[in-house]
Amino acid sequence: MKKLLAVGNWKMNPQTPKKANSLFEIVAGGVKKMKPKNTEVVVCPPFVYLSALSLRDSKILQLGAQDCFWDQSGAYTGEISPQMLKNLGCEYVIVGHSERRKRLNETDEMINAKTIAALDAGLKTILCIGEKEGERDEVARILKIQLQKNLKGIKTSVLARFTIAYEPVWAIGTGDPCRPKDAREARIYIERILTDLFGKQHAAKIRIIYGGSVTSKIARSYIDEGKMEGWLIGGASLHANEFLRIIGSIRD
Ligand code: PGA
Given the residues 97, 106, 131, 229, the one annotated as active site: 97
Rounded to the nearest angstrom, the distance between the alpha carbon of 151 and the centre of ligand 1 is 22
Residue 173 has what pLDDT?
96
Please compute the mean of the pLDDT values over residues 98-126 and round it to a whole number. Answer: 98
Widest pairwise Cα distance in the chain? 47
Rounded to the nearest angstrom, the distance between the alpha carbon of 183 and the centre of ligand 1 is 15
Q: Where are the alpha helices (DSSP H) in the chain?
A: 17-34, 47-53, 82-88, 98-103, 108-120, 139-150, 180-198, 200-203, 219-224, 240-248
The span from the CA of 176 to the CA of 180, in Å, is 12
Please compute the mean of the pLDDT values over residues 232-251 and round it to a whole number. Answer: 95
How many whole angstroms from its chain centre is CA 12? 16
Please compute the mean of the pLDDT values over residues 72-98 and round it to a whole number. Answer: 98
Rounded to the nearest angstrom, the distance between the alpha carbon of 242 and the centre of ligand 1 is 14
Of ligand 1's listed atoms, the one at least distance from the Cα of 232 is: 9
The span from the CA of 207 to the CA of 186, in Å, is 13
Confidence of residue 252 (pLDDT cuts 50, 70, 90): low
Centre a 10 Å sphere on the Cβ of residue 155 and count the other Cβ atoms it contains: 11
How many whole angstroms from its chain centre is CA 83? 18
pLDDT, tens only, 30-67: 999 999 989 999 999 999 999 999 988 767 899 999 99
Q: What percent of the chain has pLDDT over 70?
A: 98
The span from the CA of 213 to the CA of 74, in Å, is 37
Calculate ∠ Cα 132-235-31, nearest 5°: 125
The overall pTM is greater than 0.95: yes
Q: Is the CB of 234 under 6 A from ligand 1?
A: yes
Q: What one-character DSSP code corresponds to residue 89?
A: T
Closest residue by Cα to residue 153 from 185, 187, 108: 108
Cα distances (angstroms) measured from residue 12 to each of 66, 96, 102, 239: 10, 16, 16, 14
* CA-based torsion, 67, 64, 12, 169: positive or negative: positive
Given the residues 99, 131, 167, 242, the one annotated as active site: 167
Q: Is residue 4 helix, strand or coil?
A: strand
The span from the CA of 242 to the CA of 112, in Å, is 33
The span from the CA of 149 to the CA of 141, in Å, is 12
pLDDT, tens only, 167-195: 999 999 999 999 999 999 999 999 999 99
Closest residue by Cα to residue 65 from 125, 153, 134: 125
Per-position DSSP letters for 157-211, written without gaps between them: GGGGGEEEEE--GGGTTSS-PPPHHHHHHHHHHHHHHHHHHH-HHHHTTSEEEEE
